[in-house]
Amino acid sequence: MQEDFHYYAAYCAAYLAGFDHEESLRIGYADQFCDCCTETYLGKVKGPRAAATTQSQPELASAPGDLLSIQNMTRIWASFHFLPYDLNATLPGHHSKKYMQKYRLICKPNSDQVEETVRIAKGRSLEHFGISMHVLSDTWAHTYFAGTPSLVINNATGFYDLNTDKPLVFSHNPTIPEDPEKGNYVNSPNLMDEVSIMVLGHGRAGHLPDYSFFRYKYMPAWGNYEEIVKDNPADYYLAFRQMVTALKYFHGDIDEFVRGVYDEVSVEPHRERIMAILEKRQVNACADWKAFGEELSGQTIPDFDIFAFEKEYLDAARKEDTFLGRFCAGAIAQKSMITNRIYLSGSNLAGVSVDAEGRRFQRNSN
Amino acid sequence: MSLVKKILTLITSLLMVIVAVGLVIEPEIGYYIMIFILIGVLLVKSIQSVWYYFSMARHMVGGLFYFYQAVLFVDLTLASPMLLIAPRWIVALYLNGLIAFSGVLDILRATDQKKMQWPQWKLRMVLGLSKVLFAIVAMVAMRSPEMLTRIYSFVLVYTAIMRVMSALRSENVVYYTQ
C-alpha cells in the first residue's frame, strides 16, 4: 500500500470510526510515517534507532548481508509491513528447520499477530493507533510474501493481469515510470541469491500488491506450483472495513477486536464510492481518497509532509510528549512484540528480543 | 558493515597479499598451492550448493535449476584434482576461464545495480571489466608456470585491494522517502 491508502484512506477510516478531524489526521499521519521512519531519519533527529519502521533503498543496498543485518531487516519488515500469519505453521513431508523458519514468516490477514498488534495499541496514543493501522492494512496488500530476504519464499513467476487478460512483463529499471495503460511495470531482478535484498518482501512482484485496482494471478516460489489469484479491490475493501472495526475498538465503541470482523454500519453507505476509488486504474489514488475524506469531514486534509513534526521533536524538552516521541514508543512496542514472538517460535531470523511490556525473556525449546 | 566484519576483512585481505607475495617468491611450490586453493574453493562452493538445494531450493518452484547448479559445481570439484597432473596450459585455461566467468557475473550484477541506482555499481563494473580483460591478456601472454603464478598472485592482490576499499568505504546514506 502507498500514501493514498496509508494516509488518506486511514484518515477516512478514523473519521468513520468516530475520531474528529484532528485525531484522524494524526492517525493517518502516523500510518503513513511508518513508510518514512528510517534509521537515517532517526539519526538525523537523534531519535532512538530501534524505532525504525522501514529501510530506505540506500540503507538496504549498504547492508552487508550478514546475519545481523538480515535480523535487522526481518525485525523491521516483519513487524510493520509483512506481519507473519502462523509462526507455528507445519507442512506435510520433511522440510528443513531453516526453510520452515522462513515459511512461517509468510504474511496473511487475520492472524494472532494482528489481534495482538491492535490489542497492544488500545489505550495508547493516536500515533500508536496509526502504526497498528499500517500493520493491519499491509497484511491485506502484502499477503503471501515474507518480511525477510528469501528466494525460496518470495520469488514469484508467471504474473498474469486478470483485468486486461494479458501476461505481465516486468522491467528491472526503476527510472521507467510505471504505467498501467502501457503495461510498464518494474520488479526486482532475481540474483539467484537466497538472502539478496532483491527477494525481500514483494520485490519480485513489483508494485502490484500496492495498487488497489489490480487483479492478477501468479505462482509463488513456496506454493508447490499452485497459482494464486489476487483480487486487490476486494482485499483493500476488507482492509478498510477491518480498519474501521479496529479504530472503533480504540475509540471505545466496541469492547473487543476480533479477527474476521469487518465493519458494515459505517462503511456500507459509502461502498460504491470506495469501490470506485479502489477499482480506478491508476497508480496513485491520493486525490480521490483526499476528496472523499474532505467530503466526510468537511475539513481540508493537508498534504502529507514528512517533516511536519520534526521541529516539535527537536525543540521539545520532553521528547515523549511529542508526535515523534509517541510514534517511537509505539514502534518499539510493536517491533518488540513481533520480534519476541518470532524468537519464541524458535527462530533466530529476527534476533532476540525482550518484551517491552513485561520485560519477559524466555525461549521455547521446540 | 560492522566494525568486527571490517576488521576481519582487513585481516583476510592482508593474508591474501602475504600469500600472493609468497607465490611470487616460490613459483614452483606456489603453483601447487594455487591449485589446492582452487580445489578448496570449489569444494566449499559445491557443499554449499548441494546443501542449499536439499535444505531449501527443492521446495521452491523452479528449484530444479539449483540442483543443476549444484551438480555443475560438484563436477567441477571432482575434476579439479586432475589439474595437478594436467598440462599447465590447461590449468591456465581453467583459471582464466574462471576469472573471466567471475568477471562476466560482476558485469551483469553491476548492470542490474546500475538499473536499481545503487551507488556501488561502478566499483563492481570496474572489477568485472578488469577480470575479463585480465583473463584475455593472460591467455594470450602466458607461457610458463612462473607467469601463471604471478597472474594468480596479481588476482589475489587485486581482490584484497578491492575488499579493503569495500571495507573502508563510507556508508553514509542519503535520505529517501517512499
A157-197 pLDDT tens trace: 999 999 899 999 888 887 788 888 888 899 988 888 898 89
pLDDT, residue A361, reads 39
* Chain B residues touching A94 at Cβ < 8 A: none
pLDDT, residue B155, reads 77
- Minimum distance, in Å, between the CA of residue A120 and any CA atom of chain B: 27
* Chain B residues touching A175 at Cβ < 8 A: 115, 117
Helix ranges, chain A (H) = 3, 10-16, 21-33, 39-44, 57-61, 67-80, 97-103, 112-121, 126-141, 151-154, 232-251, 271-279, 286-297, 310-315, 323-344
Confidence at B111, pLDDT banded by 50, 70, 90: confident
pLDDT, residue B99, reads 82
pLDDT over 50 at B178, yes or no? no
Q: Do B5 and A64 touch (CB under 8 A)?
A: yes
Rounded distance, CA A116 to CA B137, Å? 63
pLDDT over 90 at B154, yes or no? no
Q: Do B175 and A173 touch (CB under 8 A)?
A: no
pLDDT, residue B171, reads 46
- Minimum distance, in Å, between the CA of residue B23 and any CA atom of chain A: 31
Q: HSE, CB side, 13 Å, CA atoms: give it for residue A242.
A: 25
Q: pLDDT, tens digit, for every residue of B59-108?
A: 999 999 899 989 999 998 998 888 888 777 777 787 788 788 888 878 87
Q: How many CB pairs under 8 A join A and B?
A: 94
User: What ranges do the domains of chain A cover?
Assistant: 3-145+232-344
Q: Do B61 and A174 touch (CB under 8 A)?
A: no
The more confidently predicted of residues B159 and A79 is A79
C-alpha grid cell, residue A172? 528491472
pLDDT over 90 at B148, yes or no? no
Confidence at B177, pLDDT banded by 50, 70, 90: very low
- Minimum distance, in Å, between the CA of residue A167 and any CA atom of chain B: 18
pLDDT over 70 at B142, yes or no? no
pLDDT, residue B114, reads 74
Can you tell me the ipTM of this complex?
Answer: 0.81
Neighbours of A366 (CB within 10 A): 7
* Residue partners of A72: CB distance under 8 A and separation at least 6: A63, A351
Q: Do B173 and A306 touch (CB under 8 A)?
A: no
C-alpha grid cell, residue B90? 590447461
Rounded distance, CA A7 to CA A288, Å? 12
pLDDT, residue A365, reads 36
Supply φ then ψ for residue A106, to 5 degrees.
-65, 135
Rounded distance, CA A24 to CA B52, Å? 48
Q: How far is CA B47 from the centre of its chain?
A: 17
Regions in chain A scoring below 70 on pLDDT: 353-366
Rounded distance, CA B60 to CA A199, Å? 13
Percent of chain A with pLDDT over 90: 80
Q: Which residues of A38-56 are buried (b: 16+ CB within 10 A; e: fewer)?
A: bbbbbeebebeeebbbbbb
Query: Which residue of A58, A189, A224 is in closest CB contact with B112?
Result: A189
The more confidently predicted of residues B118 and A55 is A55
pLDDT, residue B172, reads 40
- Give the 3-state secondary structure of residue A179: strand
Beta bridge mates, A185: A170
